[in-house]
């Protein structure tokens, strides 16, 4: 299974290594670093070496490289590496190089519990927090004085049950269940404004603070929208297959209940448009004009709008005027950033001005692309709606809430 894990910073230095089955020299990471130097933005997640397989992910500028000695399903290892990073974020609120270094002891304790002889063991946050207490200042001082560790001497109650994701004896004064339905729109729009490609990556994140052992049932108005789904282990899959209803005993706290994918283009509404014009006036001058507006948002406000225009290398400088927001042009990376914020439909955001072009450039090759970022509250662009949430097994009435959010994923417009 997984023999070793190496954590590498953005400079290519291994700052943490953990071995489970056998000690593997960190020189094996040279194969990964070569691939990183060749193309840092598109590293093959599986690298084959003469004696090992390197399976890696990148999160927050840090690379996590798992080393295996035999063939193994790569998605299994990739999912486990993401679970490690999610656990670190749950414990430390972030997962950067400096934070990992500050919490070396707890990181090694977590890795010891999460993997046993190379095989995943305890990966649920609830179980891990009973085994290894999250760090705080008082506990750190007490451990320094007494020489104790964060590791509990008592095995968590959920570890031996058939519901390992939920600890027993949970009690809350206020019983609450919140669901965030978040959808990311991936799209490619061509010059004429036609949609070349569009799909939605969605997920439902939950914050459950319920006493006892509640059994929840979540139903949707239109569950047939889902093309592809993946569930938290708590979901009863047979019930979903038969009735398209999510039935589950939830973990305590925050977790992702379901991830889904919608690739039927008729179901993917494009929430914003960009009117663009780049006209070549003379051999060394051009005029750029961009206008952003809402489209198919059901009257919701589009917020957090940012445009990143990747200019060709022949563009020397941009002198522009924006009626809303701020812009800056980086002459090295050739990236024009325009931070708009909220779109006011009474006065649509516009930026225009002159663009300097290097002399002798073939103007037919000037084809910038625009990456768009945005967010829309209280809107699921696919039309997905939660119908109702029912609770069984407990007598109290919980407070329930559902929030919808649409934001841009990989949203590109070609000029």
- pLDDT of the residue at 161: 62
Asked whether residue 403 carries a pLDDT value surpassing 90, the answer given is yes
- pLDDT of the residue at 68: 93
State how far the Cα of 15 lies from the Cα of 61, in Å rounded to an integer. Answer: 13
DSSP state of 346: T
* pLDDT (average), residues 49-69: 92
Write the CATH number of the domain with boundaries 272-377: 2.60.40.1170
Given 3-state DSSP classes, what are the helix, strand and coil percentages for the chain, each rounded to the nearest 5? 20, 45, 35
- pLDDT of the residue at 74: 92
- ∠168-169-175 over CA atoms, to 5°? 110
State how far the Cα of 301 lies from the Cα of 406, in Å rounded to an integer. Answer: 11
State how far the Cα of 360 lies from the Cα of 140, in Å rounded to an integer. Answer: 65
- pLDDT of the residue at 298: 83
Asked whether residue 175 carries a pLDDT value surpassing 90, the answer given is yes
Adjacent-strand bridge partners of 400: 177
Cα dihedral 360, 364, 365, 370 in deg (nearest 10): 120
SS3 track for 284-338 = CEEEEEEEEEECCCCCCCEEEEEEEEECCCCEEEEEEEECCCEEEEECCCCEEEE
What's domain 2-146's architecture?
A: 2-Layer Sandwich (3.30)
- pLDDT of the residue at 160: 56
Cα dihedral 298, 377, 253, 60 in deg (nearest 10): 130
State how far the Cα of 313 lies from the Cα of 282, in Å rounded to an integer. Answer: 18
pTM of the model: 0.80
- pLDDT of the residue at 108: 92
pLDDT in tens, 316-353: 888 888 898 999 988 888 889 999 999 888 889 999 98
Whether the Cβ atoms of residue 81 and residue 67 lie closer than 8 Å to each other = no
* pLDDT (average), residues 74-80: 93
Domains 176-268+379-414 and 272-377 share a fold: yes
232 or 366, which is more confident: 232
DSSP state of 132: B
**What is the average pLDDT value for the chain, to the nearest integer?**
87
Q: How many CB atoms lie within 10 A of CB 157?
A: 14
Residue of 381, 379, 387, 392 lying closest to 244 (CA atoms): 387
Helices 74-92 and 104-114: angle between axes, nearest 10 degrees: 140
pLDDT in tens, 226-248: 888 999 989 999 999 999 999 99
Question: pLDDT-derived band of residue 408, with 50, 70 and 90 as boundaries?
Answer: very high
* C-alpha 293, offset from chain centre: 26
Asked whether residue 157 carries a pLDDT value surpassing 90, the answer given is no
Residue of 78, 229, 255, 237 lying closest to 165 (CA atoms): 255
- DSSP of 259-279: EEEE--GGG----EEEEEEEE
Out of 105-119, 141-155, 379-393, which region has the weakest mean confidence (pLDDT)? 141-155
Share of the chain above pLDDT 70, in %: 92
Whether the Cβ atoms of residue 249 and residue 213 lie closer than 8 Å to each other = yes
Residue 50 class from Cβ within 10 Å (0-12 exposed, 13-18 middle, 19+ buried)? exposed
Q: Where are the domains of the chain?
A: 2-146, 176-268+379-414, 272-377
CATH class of 176-268+379-414: mainly beta
């Amino acid at each position: 299974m997984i023999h070793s894990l190496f954590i590498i910073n953005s400079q290519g230095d291994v700052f943490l290594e953990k071995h489970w089955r056998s000690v593997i020299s960190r020189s094996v990471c040279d194969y990964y670093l070569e691939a990183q130097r060749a193309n840092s933005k598109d590293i093959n997640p599986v690298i084959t070496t003469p004696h090992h397989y390197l399976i890696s992910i990148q999160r927050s500028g840090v690379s996590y490289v798992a080393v295996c000695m035999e063939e193994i399903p790569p998605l299994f290892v990739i999912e486990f590496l993401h679970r490690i990073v999610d656990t670190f974020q749950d414990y430390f609120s972030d997962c950067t190089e400096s934070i990992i270094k500050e919490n070396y002891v707890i990181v090694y304790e977590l890795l010891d519990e999460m993997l046993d002889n190379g095989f995943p063991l305890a990966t649920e946050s609830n179980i891990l927090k009973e085994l290894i207490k999250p760090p705080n200042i008082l506990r750190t001082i007490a451990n320094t004085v007494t020489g104790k560790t964060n590791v509990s001497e008592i095995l968590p109650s959920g570890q031996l049950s058939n519901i390992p994701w939920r600890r027993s004896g949970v009690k809350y004064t206020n019983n609450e269940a919140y669901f965030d339905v978040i959808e990311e729109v991936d799209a490619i729009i061509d010059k004429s404004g036609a949609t070349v490609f569009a799909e939605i990556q969605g997920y439902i994140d939950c914050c459950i603070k319920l006493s006892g052992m509640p059994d929840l049932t979540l139903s949707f108005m239109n569950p047939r929208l889902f093309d592809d789904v993946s569930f938290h282990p708590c979901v009863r899959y047979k019930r979903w297959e038969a009735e398209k209803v999510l039935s589950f005993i939830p973990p305590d706290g925050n977790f992702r209940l379901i991830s889904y994918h919608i690739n039927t283009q008729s179901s993917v509404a494009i929430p914003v448009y960009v009117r663009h014009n780049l006209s070549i006036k003379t051999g060394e001058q051009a005029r750029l004009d961009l206008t952003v507006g809402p489209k198919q948002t059901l009257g919701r406000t589009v917020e957090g709008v940012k445009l990143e225009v990747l200019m060709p290398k022949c563009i020397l400088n941009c002198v522009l005027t924006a009626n809303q927001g701020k812009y800056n042009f980086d002459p090295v990376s050739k990236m024009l950033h325009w931070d708009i914020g909220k779109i006011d439909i009474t006065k649509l955001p516009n930026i225009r001005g002159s663009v300097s072009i290097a002399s002798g450039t073939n103007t037919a090759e000037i084809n910038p692309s625009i990456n768009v970022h945005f967010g829309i509250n209280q809107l699921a662009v696919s039309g997905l709606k939660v119908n109702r949430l029912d609770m069984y097994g407990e007598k109290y009435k919980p407070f329930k809430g559902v929030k919808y959010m649409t934001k841009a994923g990989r949203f590109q417009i070609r000029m």
